[in-house]
Amino acid sequence: MAELLRTEKLRKYFGMVGAADNIDLQIKEGVLTSIIGPNGAGKTTLINLLTGNILPDSGKVFFNNEEITHLPTHKRVKKGICRSFQIMNIFPKLSVFENLQIPTFSLLNQSLSFFKPVRRHTDVNERVEKLVNEIGLADKKDHPAGTLSHGDQRLLEIALAMAPEPKLLFLDEPTAGMNPVERVKVLENIRRLSGEKKSTFVIVEHDMDIVFSLSDRIVVLHRGQILADGKPDEIKQNEDVRKVYLGEEILWEKV
């Protein structure tokens, strides 16, 4: 399996707080990885560093063996890295269809084309149709995104991250705030898409059910460092991990 992403001694300090402390991480293609850890462990910071939202104090990031440490976000997307957000980042005033058109136009390098009306771009529109059907929002495609239910907005958020057809896709708490039905829907989608092997998923999650049922590999973060890294069974047995989740023993026992 090819190595997609690699970090070397990645560091990011906010004042005295080490949000990322000398992190060495490798992400392999096709391996669905989950990143877990108690609050404040540095999960979102890590994703921010890897996707270009913030820049590290020191250390390097490599994608397909190419250094991307200081590459701006939109260039990383073009290289094949994308993410969804914990806090919703959809285009509320645009329709669902339009929301997905924007990254698709970018994918086909037509974002700056300014003469032909949008509806005439059949190649883009076909792809968006397919995407909307895949994610299950076809019946709402002309609704303004801001009027969707929370769960549907989250689906849209994930679809937006998938639209650029990235090789590596980070999902930051994709099921946050969803009810069980919506949660299952998202799960199914992720499982299916991961199975299709088009994108490699890396998920940050708090819901242990999802983490353990979905992941091929789990990385545990604690205070900016990697505490444990391995297959779900190994992690379940890991003493350090259990200690760190002390307060959440009950949650842990369930698993």
Q: Which residues bind other proteins (CB under 8 A)?
A: 51, 72-74, 77-78, 82-83, 85, 89-94, 98, 101-103, 105-107, 110-118, 121, 124, 160-161, 163-164
Both tokens of residue 71? 């590459």
Q: Please name which of 166, 245, 153 lies closest in space to residue 199, comparing C-alpha atoms.
A: 166
- What does the DSSP 8-state code read for residue 95? B
Distance CA 164, CA 55 (A): 22
Both tokens of residue 159? 């679809």
Whose Cβ is closer to other proteins: residue 107's or residue 187's?
107
Q: CB of residue 38 vs other proteins: minimum separation in angstroms?
A: 26
Q: CB of residue 86 vs other proteins: minimum separation in angstroms?
A: 12
Whose Cβ is closer to other proteins: residue 54's or residue 208's?
54
Determine contact, residues 223/42, Cβ cutoff 8 Å. Answer: yes
Q: CB of residue 63 vs other proteins: minimum separation in angstroms?
A: 14
Q: CB of residue 168 vs other proteins: minimum separation in angstroms?
A: 13
228-234 CB contacts, 8 Å cutoff, 24+ apart: none
Whose Cβ is closer to other proteins: residue 31's or residue 94's?
94
Whose Cβ is closer to other proteins: residue 198's or residue 231's?
198
Determine contact, residues 241/222, Cβ cutoff 8 Å. Answer: no
Q: CB of residue 209 vs other proteins: minimum separation in angstroms?
A: 28
DSSP string, 18-39: EEEEEEEEEEETT--EEEE-ST
Whose Cβ is closer to other proteins: residue 148's or residue 218's?
148
